[in-house]
Amino acid sequence: MTHSPYSKDFPVSWDELHRNARALSWRLLEMGPWKGIIAITRGGLVPAAIIARELDLRLIDTLCVVSYSSKHAGGAAQQQGDVHVLKGVEGDGEGMLLIDDLVDTGKTAKAVREMLPKAHFATIYAKPAGKPLVDTFITEVSQDTWIRFPWDMEYAFSTPLAERRG
């Protein structure tokens, strides 16, 4: 059994994600104008769509990378491995917003920064290890927190606490 580095669980609802993406948009609006957005797949796709709407940006590209293994059910057991670029983008990122949902260990962020050094890197959530690699973020969470995004969850019945006592 592998030991998970995550001891805290932080579920995020669709409403919270939308509100935080709009808050990020407000900050980014003051820094513009921007040419467009580069969304880091897959986590950056939803925030990028919200930010593109709020900033009235129509030029949207994707940087497709894989760094987490999805072999383990339940999310928190996932392990970060090497960063593999499936699809890159042209240029150095000048005038572009680079959007992701989260910066965690900074491994993906470091690789992306090397590819697009002039892009403005923005995330909704940032953990201490990766925080120095992003330019703008909304919420900091501890390194030992696993963020459960709404696209990774489904609604299920929850047993009332009183019934859980055995």
Catalogue the active-site residues: 100-101, 104
> Kind of pairing, strands 60-68 and 80-87?
antiparallel
Closest by CA position to 16, among listed 125, 114, 121 = 125
Which contiguous run of DSSP H or E holds residue 82? Answer: strand 80-87
Residue with tokens 């005038």: 95
C-alpha atoms less than 13 angstroms from C-alpha of 90 in its C-beta half-sphere: 1
CA pair distance 91, 94, nearest whole angstrom: 8
Which residues, in sequence order, are CB contacts of 67 under 8 Å at separation 6+?
Answer: 80, 81, 82, 83, 84, 107, 108
How does DSSP classify residue 119?
S
* Token code pair at residue 146: 């696993």
